[in-house]
Amino acid sequence: MTLPAPVVIGKLHARRLREIYRSAGWPCQDLIEVELLAAGLVERVRAGSGHETLRVSDAGIQMLAATLQGNRAARSDHEALVQTVAREMVRAGRVVWTGLSLRAQVPGPTAQDAPQWCIAMPDVFSIRNTTVEAYVEPVVHEIKVRRADLLGDLKKAAKRAAYLDLGGACWYVLGNDAKGRAIGEPDEIPAECGVMVMQGGQLGVARPAPRRPVERLPFAVWLELAKRTPHTPEGGDQAPLANLRDDPPTPDDGA
């Protein structure tokens, strides 16, 4: 008799494990549940009435704790890189926001369909510090610190279309893996986006972002920006109003 191969536990299993832990444990009786049972991460419990429920085993609790720590580390790494990018944009004289939710327009499913509206949540959104609307040059930075997250994101063409609708340029900013290597190569990123990577603790441009002119930001974007407080770097404020720049954008401005 050939023994079955060991169960490979993935994100779906971890999600189901969390659901079982938070619920009354009613079984779904699907393949994910079978694999959790085979791995010893959940146990069947028979009540006096004869019906069965599921309970997360001690091994399952340990896995939940490990997953929680991994998620916290990923969020911490992500937030640190967000802060680094935001700080560099402030130093470049730009007004910066993080954690925005902005309405964007993306193409319909086919060329014959009308454009659709969606909610875009750029990690870092910035504009030039200027009083001339045609010179604001909005830029979006999308932060990635895990390769699996990057690969999943690259499949979302509508998400990139939303970012490009919001900004005159869109950048992917790639963190490093445990060995200090970038989590992706520039040629993996679609050509319509630029690429930044961490090099020796500093941000470096691996490929410039193509730019398109943005004559004006939609009113809904201005309204959302007005309701949110711009990013303030540690130990300082945004550029003062006396430093407003009314000159046209230069090729290197906003990188």
Q: How many domains does the chain have?
A: 2
pLDDT at 121: 92
pLDDT at 247: 58
Tens digits of per-residue pLDDT, 6-27? 667 787 888 888 889 888 888 8
Q: Which residues of the chain have pLDDT under 70?
A: 1-7, 71, 73-74, 233-255
pLDDT at 115: 81
Q: Is residue 108 part of a domain?
A: yes
Instruction: Look at the alpha carbons of 180, 211, 241, 96 in this order and tell me if their dihedral is positive or negative.
Output: negative
What's the whole-model pTM score? 0.68
In this structure, the answer to whether residues 110 and 29 fall within a common structural domain is no
How many CA atoms does the CB half-sphere of 155 hold within 13 Å? Answer: 5
pLDDT at 4: 54
pLDDT at 180: 86
pLDDT at 18: 87
Q: Is residue 69 part of a domain?
A: no
Q: Is residue 78 part of a domain?
A: no
pLDDT at 44: 92
What's the chain look like in SS3? CCCCCCCCCCHHHHHHHHHHHHCCCCCCCCHHHHHHHHCCCEEEEECCCCCEEEEECHHHHHHHHHHHHHHHHHHHHHHHHHHHHHHHHHHCCEEEEECCCEEEEECCCCCCCCCEEEEECCCEEEEECCCCHHHCCCEEEEEECCHHHHHHHHCCHHHHHHHHHHCCEEEEEECECCCCCECCCHHHCCCCCEEEEEECCEEEEEECCCCCCCCCCCHHHHHHHHHCCCCCCCCCCCCCHHHCCCCCCCCCCCC
Find out whether 150 and 144 touch, Cβ atoms under 8 Å: yes
In this structure, the answer to whether residues 22 and 138 fall within a common structural domain is no
Tens digits of per-residue pLDDT, 75-105? 788 899 999 999 999 999 999 999 899 988 8
pLDDT at 7: 67
C-alpha–C-alpha distance, residues 172 and 193, integer Å: 7
In this structure, the answer to whether residues 156 and 201 fall within a common structural domain is yes
Find out whether 137 and 127 touch, Cβ atoms under 8 Å: yes
pLDDT at 233: 65
Q: Is residue 79 part of a domain?
A: no
pLDDT at 239: 42
In this structure, the answer to whether residues 162 and 91 fall within a common structural domain is yes
In this structure, the answer to whether residues 140 and 182 fall within a common structural domain is yes
In this structure, the answer to whether residues 231 and 136 fall within a common structural domain is yes
What domain range is 98 assigned to? Answer: 84-243
